[in-house]
Amino acid sequence: VFNRIDHIGIAVEEIEGSLALYRDAFKMQVAHREIVEEQGVEAVLLDVGENHIELVAPLGPDTPVGKFLERRGEGVHHVGYGVANITAALEAIGATGVRLIDERPRHGSMGASIAFLHPADLGGVLTELVQARDPESPI
């Protein structure tokens, strides 16, 4: 079902300090930065080869990431797996009984289609499916 690890999502209180840490300690380059109102986060993707680390900072305390930080503090937040066909992957995974947070794919950063699976059915790991943008199609 999965063709690679697309990214690891890391919840942070605020972007600038964390960004400086990853840039200075690991010399990572910023691939993309975006405010995703729909998810209540500011997200920064950092390059690690052809994969990414995604720093996510909440836009407010009442957002999912804001609540996560309050409960668990900063740290690993989700794992994003690459899939070739997100609709087929959701159907196949849903058929095994894993609950889908997103029944249908929605827009992620950099033109990707994404969907989240319920962490309660996956050993506490929030899991994201990512179908990269078709390079042929316009953003």
Residues in contact with Co ion by CB under 5 A are 9, 54, 80, 128
Q: Name the residue with the smallest CB distance to Co ion.
A: 9
Separation between Cα atoms, residue 126 and residue 124, nearest integer Å:
6
CB of 42 to Co ion, least distance (A): 13
Which tokens sit at 98? 């894993």
Q: Which is nearer to Co ion, 64 or 121 (CB)?
A: 64
- Output the CA angle 8-108-55, nearest 5 degrees: 35
CB of 30 to Co ion, least distance (A): 15
The residues that bridge with 56 in the sheet, in sequence order, are 11, 43
Closest CA to 139 of 105, 104, 110, 108: 110
Q: Which is nearer to Co ion, 24 or 112 (CB)?
A: 112
Q: Which is nearer to Co ion, 24 or 132 (CB)?
A: 132
8 Å CB contact between 55 and 15: yes
CB of 103 to Co ion, least distance (A): 18
Question: Helix (H, G, I), strand (E, B), or coil: what is residue 133?
Answer: coil
Q: Which is nearer to Co ion, 24 or 130 (CB)?
A: 130
CB of 64 to Co ion, least distance (A): 12
